[in-house]
Amino acid sequence: MFTKWFKNQTIQNKILFSQIVLVIVPLSVVALLNYMQSSRVIEDKAVEQFYTISQLANQQLDQYIEEISKLADNITESPIISDRLRQGYVPYYKFTEKEIREENKVREFLIGMYKLKPGISSIRLYGDNGIQDYYHPELIWKTEMKVSEEEWYRKTREANGKWIISGIRQEKQFGTLFDKPSLHPEAVVTFSRLLKDRVTFKPVGMLAINLRIEQLESMFGAIDSNHQLLILDEHNKPIINSKEAVQTKGKAYLKVSTKSPLTGWTSVYMASKADLFKESKHIRNLIIGFTALLTLLALVLAQFLARGIVKPLRVLRVKMKELAKGDFNIAIPPESQDEVGELTQRFNKMTGRMKDLVEEVRAQEAKRAEVELAALQARINPHFMYNTLNGIRSVAMMEGNKHVGELISSFVYLLQFSSKNKESFITVLKELELLRYYVELMKMRNDEFDFVLDVDPRMTEYLVFPFMFQPLVENAIFHGLGPSKRRGELVIQLRTDGAMNTAAIRDNGIGMEPHILEGLLQPPVAGDGEDEELFEKIGMLNVQDRLRLQFGSQAELKVSSVKGSGTEVRVSWPVLTRERGHSDA
Nearest to 80 by CA among 203, 248, 207, 220: 207
How many Cβ atoms from other residues are within 10 Å of residue 520's Cβ? 19
What percent of the residues of the chain are helix, what percent strand, and what percent coil, each to the nearest 5? 55, 20, 25
Indicate whether 547 pLDDT > 80: yes
What is the per-residue pLDDT across 466-510, written as a single tens digit (0 to 9) for each? 889 988 998 898 888 888 888 899 999 999 998 999 999 999 999
Average pLDDT over residues 164-174: 81
Indicate whether 334 pLDDT > 50: yes
pLDDT band of residue 383 (cuts 50, 70, 90) is: very low
What is the per-residue pLDDT across 239-266, written as a single tens digit (0 to 9) for each? 777 665 445 555 677 788 888 888 788 8
| Measured torsion, CA atoms of residues 545, 551, 554, 559, in degrees rounded to the nearest 10 | -40
Domains of the chain plus CATH, in order, are: 78-217 (3.30.450.20), 425-582 (3.30.565.10)
H/E segment holding residue 245: none
pLDDT of the residue at 381: 47
Residues sharing a CB contact under 8 Å with residue 46, sequence separation 6 or more, in sequence order: 254, 271, 276
pLDDT of the residue at 379: 44
Comparison of pLDDT for 574 and 534, the residue scoring more: 574
Nearest to 313 by CA among 291, 336, 330: 336
* Mean pLDDT, rounded, of the chain: 79
| Phi, psi dihedral angles at 273 (to 5 degrees) | -65, -30
Bridge-based pairing state of the strands 169-171 and 132-135:
unpaired
Residues sharing a CB contact under 8 Å with residue 562, sequence separation 6 or more, in sequence order: 511
pLDDT band of residue 452 (cuts 50, 70, 90) is: very high
What is the per-residue pLDDT across 103-121, written as a single tens digit (0 to 9) for each? 889 899 999 998 988 889 8
CA distance 65 to 581: 110
Indicate whether 181 pLDDT > 70: no
Average pLDDT over residues 549-576: 92
3-state SS record for 75-106: HHHCHHHHHHHHCCCCCHHHCCHHHHHHHHHH
269 to 35, 53, 231: CA distances (angstroms): 24, 7, 9
pLDDT band of residue 86 (cuts 50, 70, 90) is: confident
% pLDDT > 70, the chain: 79
Nearest to 239 by CA among 184, 309, 189, 290: 189
CA distance 308 to 335: 11
What is the per-residue pLDDT across 399-450, written as a single tens digit (0 to 9) for each? 666 667 677 777 777 777 777 777 889 999 999 999 998 888 888 777 889 9
Indicate whether 97 pLDDT > 70: yes
Q: Say what the pTM is.
A: 0.45
Lowest mean pLDDT among 88-102, 156-170, 402-416, 436-450: 402-416
Indicate whether 208 pLDDT > 70: yes
pLDDT of the residue at 397: 67
